[in-house]
């Protein structure tokens, strides 16, 4: 006999719905994203795909007809959040039903991909489970959900990017002056702690032509800064017009030619894919910002090997030297995991030594969290929670001190700021430095969208304060 769950599993024989850009917005959509920037990008694509179906966005769950939880599975805490959020939504759905209305609940993102039907078992209020490869099918899934729960976590062979609705200029405008653009998805590295290769699948790159077209459309609609996204973005190997393979460096060079686009960034990268041409691009491509997120995870060769990172601490240090030689003012940031199985005090000290040697401008740090299905989770030498917590606090102190020193060192220096919005006080405008620091300065709203030179005069805990230079005023 079929279980409820199997009955819920609808294999969608999907044909694209006729696009109806003019449809009146009669339904409200809330996409709530957790996790990485890729999810922020995907959330915008989901809203774009559902706009022609009459969905307009709302920030209030009480107003929503459809709530999509765009989930993250990277660490245990991130996926736990989903289920507490679903509990709240179930109550809202019950209230709605009591009023004779409905609320559809969808779970998207990496938890959807990893857990699939399990989600319906754990929370029956869910109507749709949709994996990251299937967002172009959302209109159809929403329609099918009227007859019962639907699941779509297929890894289709075709390129999902090619099915996604491009956003209208108006929609881009409401999203601000900076934008994400996914150029690569998935990962083949299989670091032994990481679920990404399982939830996002094998590495795939978008075609150059489509990326350029999207970047041009963003720029036409006023976007000044684009961050190229990928789980392992520096492994980008998209196809050009004559089917030739482009590297990320070549793509950056091409995107730099777009008039009106002021800044380019990319994230996130693996040290082993930092090719010489990409390092050179840091010295040559003027629009490429001198700030690089290059996660190393650990400073111990033993742990790096156990993590399947396929490089040693020394290789990372040499790489940093090479990058700094190409672009002396570059600032670096990294991710670290403390308490990977088998990590000793000595291993942890090696991580602190690497942090001292590199001097990071900013750092993300996490306690190791065993993820189901990954080799790390199978190990028997897990580190005690108190030890992880103690190491996390020590590492945090160290990198926080480096971050603050980096910020303070900018006082008295002049940096370019891309102004994005009015500042906290009237007469102020706010933007970002090349190093993604928030900067406030006195200036007119008419400068929003401009990149202008700002002399930094003060350093707060989370923002820098500066004044426009004579030439910028
Ligand atoms: N436990 C803790 N941190 C993790 N990360 C990835 N997987 C895990 C895990 N299982 C961290 C890594 C990665 C960042 C995105 O999340 O540092 O670079
Ligand atoms: Fe995960 Fe990044 Fe390693 Fe890929 S390179 S497995 S995404 S940590």
Q: pLDDT by residue (tens digit) across 349-380?
A: 999 999 999 999 999 999 999 999 999 999 99
Q: Is 327 in the pocket of ligand 2 (CB under 6 A)?
A: no
Q: Does domain 11-158 have CATH number 3.40.50.12160?
A: yes
Q: Is 186 in the pocket of ligand 2 (CB under 6 A)?
A: no
The CATH number given to 161-408 is 3.80.30.20
Smallest-distance ligand from the CA of 75: 1
Residue pair 166/51 in contact by the 8 Å Cβ criterion: no
Q: Does domain 414-472 have CATH number 2.40.50.140?
A: yes
Packing angle of the helix pair 276-284, 313-326 (nearest 10 deg): 30
Distance 459 CA to ligand 2 centre (A): 34
Which run of H or E residues covers position 228?
A: strand 225-229
Distance 370 CA to ligand 1 centre (A): 10
Q: Is 270 in the pocket of ligand 2 (CB under 6 A)?
A: yes
Q: Is 303 in the pocket of ligand 1 (CB under 6 A)?
A: no
Smallest-distance ligand from the CA of 233: 2
Region of poorest pLDDT, from 51-55, 165-169, 313-317, 468-472: 165-169
The whole-number pLDDT of residue 438 equals 97
Determine the atom of ligand 1 nearest the C-alpha atom of 194.
7
Q: Is 228 in the pocket of ligand 1 (CB under 6 A)?
A: no
Q: In testing the pocket of ligand 1, which one of 73, 75, 234, 376 has its CB within 8 Å of the most ligand atoms?
A: 75
Distance 324 CA to ligand 2 centre (A): 24
Does residue 19 surpass a pLDDT of 50?
Answer: no
Distance 194 CA to ligand 1 centre (A): 6
Q: Is 271 in the pocket of ligand 1 (CB under 6 A)?
A: no
State percent of the chain over pLDDT 70.
94
Structural domain spans, the chain: 11-158, 161-408, 414-472
The DSSP letter of residue 27 is E
Smallest-distance ligand from the CA of 334: 1
Determine the atom of ligand 2 nearest the C-alpha atom of 195.
1
pTM value?
0.91
Q: In testing the pocket of ligand 1, which one of 34, 36, 74 has its CB within 8 Å of the most ligand atoms?
A: 74
Distance 73 CA to ligand 2 centre (A): 13
Q: Is 232 in the pocket of ligand 2 (CB under 6 A)?
A: yes
* pLDDT, tens digit (0-9, with 9 covering 90-100), for 412-423: 999 999 999 999
Q: Is 224 in the pocket of ligand 1 (CB under 6 A)?
A: no
Determine the atom of ligand 2 nearest the C-alpha atom of 270.
5
CA–CA distance, 260 with 226 (Å, rounded to integer)? 11
Q: What is the mean pLDDT of residues 99-118?
A: 94
Determine the atom of ligand 2 nearest the C-alpha atom of 268.
2
Mean pLDDT of the chain: 91
Distance 269 CA to ligand 2 centre (A): 9
For 419, phi and psi rounded to 5 degrees?
A: -80, 130
Q: How confident is the model at residue 161 (pLDDT cuts 50, 70, 90)?
A: confident
Distance 311 CA to ligand 2 centre (A): 13
Determine the atom of ligand 2 nearest the C-alpha atom of 297.
8
Does residue 100 surpass a pLDDT of 70?
Answer: yes
Does residue 62 surpass a pLDDT of 50?
Answer: yes
Distance 337 CA to ligand 1 centre (A): 6
Q: Is 337 in the pocket of ligand 1 (CB under 6 A)?
A: yes
Q: Is 293 in the pocket of ligand 1 (CB under 6 A)?
A: no
Distance 140 CA to ligand 2 centre (A): 32
Q: How confident is the model at residue 24 (pLDDT cuts 50, 70, 90)?
A: low
CA–CA distance, 30 with 23 (Å, rounded to integer)? 18
**DSSP secondary structure of 163-222:** GSPPPPHHHHHHT-SEEEEE-EE--S---TT--HHHHT-S-EE--HHHHHHHHHHHHHTT
More confident residue, 77 or 222: 222
CA–CA distance, 368 with 375 (Å, rounded to integer)? 13
Does residue 13 surpass a pLDDT of 90?
Answer: no
């Amino acid at each position: 006999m079929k279980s409820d769950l199997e009955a819920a599993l609808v294999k969608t024989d999907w044909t694209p719905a006729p696009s109806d850009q003019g449809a009146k917005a009669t339904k409200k959509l809330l996409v709530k994203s957790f996790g990485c920037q890729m999810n922020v990008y995907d959330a915008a694509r989901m809203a774009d795909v559902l706009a022609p179906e009459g969905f307009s966005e709302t920030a209030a769950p009480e107003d929503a007809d459809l709530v999509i939880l765009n989930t993250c599975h990277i660490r245990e805490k991130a996926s736990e959040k989903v289920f507490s959020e679903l509990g709240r939504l179930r109550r809202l759905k019950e209230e709605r039903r009591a009023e004779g209305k409905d609320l559809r609940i969808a779970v998207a993102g990496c938890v959807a991909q990893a857990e699939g039907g399990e989600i319906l078992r754990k929370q029956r209020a869910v109507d749709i489970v949709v994996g990251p490869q299937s967002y172009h099918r959302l209109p159809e899934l929403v329609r099918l959900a009227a007859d019962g729960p639907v699941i779509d976590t297929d890894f289709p062979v075709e390129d999902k990017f090619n099915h996604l609705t491009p956003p209208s200029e108006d929609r881009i405008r409401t999203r601000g002056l900076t934008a994400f653009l996914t150029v690569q998805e998935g990962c083949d590295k299989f670091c032994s702690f990481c679920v990404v290769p399982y939830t996002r699948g094998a590495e795939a790159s978008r075609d150059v032509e489509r990326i350029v077209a999207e970047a041009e459309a963003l720029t036409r609609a006023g976007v000044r800064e684009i961050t190229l996204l990928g789980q392992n973005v520096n492994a980008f190997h998209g196809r050009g017009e004559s089917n030739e393979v482009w590297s990320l460096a070549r793509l950056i060079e091409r995107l730099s030619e777009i008039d009106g686009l002021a800044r380019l960034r990319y994230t996130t990268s693996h040290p082993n894919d930092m090719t010489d041409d990409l390092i050179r691009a840091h010295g040559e491509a003027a629009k490429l910002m001198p700030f690089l997120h290059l996660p190393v995870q650990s400073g111990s060769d033993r742990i790096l090997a156990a993590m399947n990172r396929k490089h040693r601490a020394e290789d990372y240090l040499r790489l940093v030297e090479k990058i700094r030689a190409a672009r002396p003012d570059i600032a670096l940031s990294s991710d670290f995991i403390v308490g990977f199985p088998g990590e000793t005090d000595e291993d942890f000290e090696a991580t602190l030594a690497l942090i001292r040697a590199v001097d990071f401008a900013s750092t993300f740090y996490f306690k190791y969290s065993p993820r189901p299905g990954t080799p790390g989770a199978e190990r028997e030498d897990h580190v005690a929670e108190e030890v992880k917590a103690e190491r996390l606090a020590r590492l945090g102190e160290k990198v926080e001190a480096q971050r603050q020193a980096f910020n303070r060192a900018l006082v008295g220096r002049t940096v370019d700021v891309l102004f994005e919005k009015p500042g906290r006080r009237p007469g102020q405008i706010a933007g970002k430095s090349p190093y993604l620091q928030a900067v406030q300065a006195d200036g007119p709203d008419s400068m929003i969208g401009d990149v202008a030179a700002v002399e930094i005069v003060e350093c707060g805990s989370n923002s820098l304060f500066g004044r426009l230079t004579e030439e910028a005023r």
